[in-house]
Amino acid sequence: MPWLNLVVDSDAEHAEALSEALLELGALSVDLLDADADTPDEQAIFGEPGEPPPGVWQHNRVSALFDSDKDVSAILRNATANIGLKQLPEHRIETLADNDWVRLTQSQFEPIPISPRLWIVPTWHTPSDPNAINIVLDPGLAFGTGSHPTTRLCLRWLDSNLRGGENVLDYGCGSGILAIAALKLGAAHAVGVDVDLQAVIASRDNAIANQVKDVQFYLPDDAPQSSYDLVVANILTNPLRMLAPLLAKSTRQGGQIVLSGILEEQAQDMMNIYQQWFDLNAPIFEDGWSCLSGRKR
């Protein structure tokens, strides 16, 4: 049976109320996303560790899923009236075909060669090269499958620059892929931090699947206060801007930092910020994304 997906643009004042109204009127699920994600206008909605979140995004995209027999247009009109809006917001209604969603999702992720010796292998695949360093990965609900350019950029940096024995912090660990890769490439110890509990859970599961030891994953407020030989943060530009003092403090003097999740046109802005603490290398670009690295003075 197909489903109907309603996508509505909403401002910060009405986004959460609209989401709740759609659920009350029969939506099977509702997602609230940043309408400006992956653009220079994307907005971080979390503060520093230990601080309360500042709120929702200014420009929101509400996505609500309905059974195919629902009158979605009528539901939107009722939801809009229920929250006091006098006119319908911009929206569209999409038909989602019935599929084997598990198999369809898995089909999107094939083994990914990062370098001649490093591969990312989804748990439902057999390694293409059993003699390579294979990271067995189940992304779960977390970001980080190795398919995105920012993840590949960080993995290639680790593959080329780790010398063995490093103490590594992966801030914004997602699936744990960078912390796990660092250990498989010779790092002595790794800590992963993420604001999303599901990411922490997925990272712990992936570490067990890869049989790596000396790694722990935490929510920010639970993470140990320490300094590291290497800090890796593959997040997004606004969080990286906000977290700059924390990430710099977490890097020991003479240690290295690797930053990604940065659009190519945002690279210079990030370099200007992080040059306060680090001697930076020339950025590396791939498919419109950039990776910055440097050593702390």
Report pLDDT digits (tens) over 177-222.
999 999 999 999 999 999 989 889 989 999 999 999 999 999 999 9
Query: From CA 155, how far away is CA 17, in angstroms rounded?
Result: 41
Domain coverage including residue 36 = 3-98
Indicate if 287 and 145 belong to the same structural domain. yes
pLDDT reported for residue 141: 46
Amino acid letter, residue 290: S
The pTM of the full predicted model, rounded to 2 decimals, is 0.66
Same domain? For 291 and 255 the reply is yes
Sign of the Cα torsion 191, 192, 193, 198 reads: negative
134 plus 94 within the same structural domain:
no
Residues 112 and 26 both lie in one domain: no
Same domain, 86 and 165: no
* Residue 233: CATH number of its domain: 3.40.50.150
Q: Which of the pair, 126 or 76, is modelled with greater confidence? A: 76
Domain total for the chain?
Answer: 2
Rg (CA), the chain: 21
Q: Residues 76, 180: one domain? A: no
> Tell me: the pLDDT tens digits for 150-181?
999 999 999 999 999 999 999 999 989 999 99
- Render pLDDT for 231-285 as a digit per residue (tens, 0 to 9): 999 998 999 999 999 999 999 999 999 999 999 999 999 999 999 999 999 999 9
pLDDT tops 70 at residue 106? no
Local confidence band at 142 (pLDDT 50, 70, 90 cut-offs): very low
Looking at 98, 127, 160, the residue that finishes a domain is 98
Check whether residue 292 and residue 186 sit in a common domain. yes
Q: What is the pLDDT of residues 39-91, one digit of tens each?
A: 565 555 444 444 444 455 667 889 899 988 999 999 999 999 999 988 888 89
What pLDDT, on the 0 to 100 scale, is given for residue 103?
A: 59
**Statement to judge: residues 71 and 111 lie in one domain:** no
Closest listed residue to residue 233, CA positions, set 224, 243, 225: 243
Are 22 and 138 part of one and the same domain?
no
Q: Specify whether 137 is located in the same domain as 156.
A: yes
Same domain, 79 and 172: no
Domain boundary, last residue among 64, 98, 132: 98
Say which residues have a Cβ less than 8 Å from residue 20's Cβ, sequence separation at least 6: none
